[in-house]
Amino acid sequence: MTTTRRDLPAGTPSELRLPALKIQQGRGRSLYTFAMDGKLVPQIATVSRIRRDETTELHGYQRPEVLAHVAAIRRYIETDDSPLLPNAIVIAFDERVRFEPNPATAAGPSYVETGTLVIPLIDGPEHNRPGFIVDGQQRCAAIRDANIDAFPVSISAFIANDTADQRSQFILVNSTKALPKGLIHELLPGASGALPTPLRVRQLPATLLEKLNFDELRSPLYRMIQMPTNPGGHVKDNSVLRMLENSLSDGALYRFRNDEALPYTGEMFTLLCNFWAAVKQVFPDAWNKPPRRSRLMHGAGIISMGYLMDAISHVRDDGNGIIESDEFAADLKVIADDCHWTEGEWVFSDGVARKWNDIQNTPRDIHRVADFLQSRYRSSQVARGR
Strand arrangement, sheet containing 98-101: 45-46, 131-135, 89-93, 152-159, 29-37, 15-25, 112-120, 98-101
Tell me the three state secondary structure of residue 315. Answer: helix
Predicted confidence at residue 3, as pLDDT, reads 36
Euclidean distance between CA atoms 149 and 70, whole angstroms: 18
Across residues 131-150, what is the average pLDDT?
Answer: 89
52-66, 74-88, 219-233, 299-313: the lowest-pLDDT one: 52-66
pLDDT reading at 319 higher than 60 = yes
**194 or 158, greater pLDDT:** 158
pLDDT reading at 8 higher than 50 = no
Q: Are 30 and 24 in contact (CB under 8 A)?
A: yes
Instruction: Return the closest-CA partner of residue 291 out of 279, 299, 281.
Output: 299
pTM for the whole thing? 0.61
Predicted confidence at residue 316, as pLDDT, reads 86
Q: Residue ranges of the domains in the chain?
A: 5-179, 185-383
In DSSP notation, 155-183 reads EEEEE-SSHHHHHHHHHHHTTTS---HHH
Instruction: Return the closest-CA partner of residue 22 out of 122, 139, 141, 118.
Output: 118
**Mean pLDDT (the chain, rounded):** 84
**Can you state the percent helix, strand and coil of the chain, rounding each to 5?**
45, 20, 40
pLDDT reading at 5 higher than 90 = no
Long-range pairs of 58-64 with CB within 8 A, sequence gap ≥ 24: 58/186, 58/187, 58/189, 58/190, 58/210, 58/229, 61/132, 61/166, 61/167, 61/170, 61/171, 61/183, 61/187, 62/132, 62/133, 62/137, 62/170, 63/137, 63/179, 63/180, 63/183, 63/228
Predicted confidence at residue 385, as pLDDT, reads 66
Predicted confidence at residue 178, as pLDDT, reads 53
Euclidean distance between CA atoms 30 and 50, whole angstroms: 26
The model's pLDDT over 168-181, given as tens digits with 9 standing for 90+, comes to 776 666 655 555 66
Euclidean distance between CA atoms 61 and 163, whole angstroms: 9
Euclidean distance between CA atoms 213 and 106, whole angstroms: 56
Q: Are 178 and 106 in contact (CB under 8 A)?
A: no
pLDDT reading at 292 higher than 90 = yes
pLDDT reading at 6 higher than 50 = no
Maximum average pLDDT range among 49-63, 248-262, 290-304, 349-363: 290-304
Euclidean distance between CA atoms 160 and 140, whole angstroms: 21
pLDDT reading at 221 higher than 70 = yes
Across residues 311-338, what is the average pLDDT?
Answer: 89
Q: Are 8 and 43 in contact (CB under 8 A)?
A: yes
Q: What percent of the chain has pLDDT over 90?
A: 51
Maximum average pLDDT range among 57-66, 128-137, 280-289, 317-326: 280-289
6-10, 124-128, 230-234, 254-258: the lowest-pLDDT one: 6-10
Predicted confidence at residue 48, as pLDDT, reads 63
Radius of gyration of the chain (CA): 27
